[in-house]
Amino acid sequence: MTGTKRVPGATITRLSIYHRQLELLEFDGYRQVSSDKLAWLCQVSSAQVRKDLGYFGGFGVRGVGYDVLELQAHIREILSINKVWNLAVVGIGNLGSALLRSRGFALKGFNCVAAFDKDPAKIGKFTAAGIRIKNITELARSVKEMHVDMGVITTPPSEAQRIADMFIRGKVNALLNFSPIRIYVPDCCLVENIDFTIKLDILTYRLTHGDMN
């Protein structure tokens, strides 16, 4: 494993991509894959694949490649997705509802256990997944009681910081923020900001300038 060596964030992102491709290879019946093929599928170089995996030890056999199932298992352990993580979603609009309906969360070991909103018309109703929507005033207490590991924020920008503060009071120190505003948290908390408008800006630039790489 890594010991004291710091692993770049880009490497962690690519590990997730490798894992996704390995799942697809398994589905297609593959049991071995070369670094060249895995690299091609993930649109990186084979040297990059070997370097990324090298942070965590030696995998694969020279001239043979990687065992698809074994490498999946190793990456799941590295990313700690070989266990169940409890999620709570705040903001049950179109995006929040779609996330709660997604089967992908559960398949990856992310268990949506709680949903919150401030709209009286939604509070008390059940989501498609059978989760009762609670008032956000209950958030800090409920996430403690339900042992929530991660919070997902899909509220309007004006609400995002307040919701983040409530999660932190409830001892939830990992947040996935879909609101298009940066939130500020203490050093004990991890935040991943997902801003779709930035991704769209990147696409418009690449389309305009012919950057297809």
Burial class (CB in 10 A: 0-12, 13-18, 19+), 139: buried
CA distances to 35, 104, 150, 177, 183 from 193, rounded to whole Å, are: 31, 19, 13, 5, 8
Mind listing the pLDDT tens digit for each residue in 123-149? Answer: 999 998 899 999 999 999 999 999 999
Domain ranges in the chain are: 9-79, 85-197
> In DSSP terms, which residues pair with 117 in a beta bridge?
135
The predicted pLDDT at position 52 comes to 95
The reply to whether 9-79 and 85-197 are identical in fold is no
| Of 109, 164, 167, 178, nearest in space to 142 by CA | 167
CATH number, domain 9-79, options 1.10.3720.10, 1.10.10.10, 3.40.50.720, 3.30.450.20: 1.10.10.10
- Per-residue tens of pLDDT for the chain, all 213 residues: 444 468 999 999 999 999 999 999 999 999 999 999 999 999 999 999 999 999 998 887 887 899 999 999 999 999 999 999 999 999 999 999 999 988 888 878 899 999 999 999 999 999 988 999 999 999 999 999 999 999 999 999 999 999 999 999 999 999 999 998 889 999 989 999 988 888 888 889 888 987 666
Fold adopted by 85-197: Rossmann fold (3.40.50)
